A and B are shown apart, each in its own frame.
Chain A
Amino acid sequence: MRQLILFLAKYRSTLLLIVFVLIALLRHSLKNPAAEHRLNNMGFGAVAGIHDGLSSWKQYWRLEAINEELARENARLRSGGTRASVNHFSNSTDYDFIPARIVDYSYTKRNNYIIVHAGRRDGIRPGMGAMTANGWIGSVVEVSNAYAHITPILHSKGNIGARISEKGLGELHWDGTDPSWATLFDIQRENRPMPGDSVYSFTRTSVGPSTLTGTVISAVQNNEDLTWTAKVALSADFKNMNWLYISKLKDVESLDSLQIPAL
Chain B
Amino acid sequence: MTIVKNIFWLVLVLLVQWGFLQDLPLTVYGNPYLYLWFFLWLPFGVTRMGLYAIAFAVGTIMDAFEQSGGAHTLACLALVTAKPWVENALIGYRKSDDSEGVSHLALAPYLTTSSVLVLLHHSILFTAENYGFDNLVLLAVRIIVSSLITLVLLAITHALFSKKYAA
Report A's interface with B, CB cutoff 8 A.
12-13, 16-17, 20-21, 23-32, 40, 43, 47, 50-51, 54, 57-58, 104-111, 113, 115, 149, 156, 175-179, 239
A156 touches B65 (CB 8 A): no
Contact with A along B50-69 (1 / 0, CB 8 A): 00110110010001111111
A13 touches B48 (CB 8 A): yes
B19 touches A149 (CB 8 A): no
Q: Which residues of A contact B135 (CB under 8 A)?
A: 175-177
CA distance A107 to B23 in the complex (A): 8
The 8 sampled A-B contact pairs (Cβ below 8 Å) are A13-B47, A20-B56, A24-B73, A24-B74, A31-B69, A108-B28, A108-B29, A110-B126
A54 touches B130 (CB 8 A): no
CA distance A25 to B134 in the complex (A): 19
A16 touches B70 (CB 8 A): no
B144–chain A nearest beta-carbon distance, Å: 14
- Chain A residue at smallest Cβ distance from B18: A54
Say whether chain B's binding surface is mostly helix, strand, loop, or mixed.
Answer: helix
CA distance A209 to B39 in the complex (A): 48
CA distance A111 to B66 in the complex (A): 10
A109 touches B31 (CB 8 A): yes
B77 touches A20 (CB 8 A): yes
Residue of A12, A17, A110, A113 with most partner-chain B CB within 10 A? A110
A25 touches B130 (CB 8 A): no
Interface residue range, chain B: 35 or more
- Chain B residue at smallest Cβ distance from A107: B28
- Chain B residue at smallest Cβ distance from A21: B77
B54–chain A nearest beta-carbon distance, Å: 11
B52 touches A16 (CB 8 A): yes
B23 touches A105 (CB 8 A): yes
- Chain B residue at smallest Cβ distance from A156: B131
Q: Which residues of A contact B131 (CB under 8 A)?
A: 32, 110, 156
Q: Which of A12, A20, A31 contacts B68 (CB 8 A)?
A: A31
B48 touches A21 (CB 8 A): no
Known contacts A27-B69, A54-B19; decide if A16 and B77 are in contact (CB<8 Å): no
Known contacts A40-B69, A54-B18, A108-B23; decide if A17 and B30 are in contact (CB<8 Å): no
Q: Which residues of A contact B64 (CB under 8 A)?
A: 43, 47
CA distance A82 to B55 in the complex (A): 56
Known contacts A17-B77, A21-B77; decide if A28 and B18 are in contact (CB<8 Å): no
B63 touches A108 (CB 8 A): no
CA distance A149 to B64 in the complex (A): 12
Q: Which residues of B contact A178 (CB under 8 A)?
A: 28
Q: Which residues of B contact A12 (CB under 8 A)?
A: 49
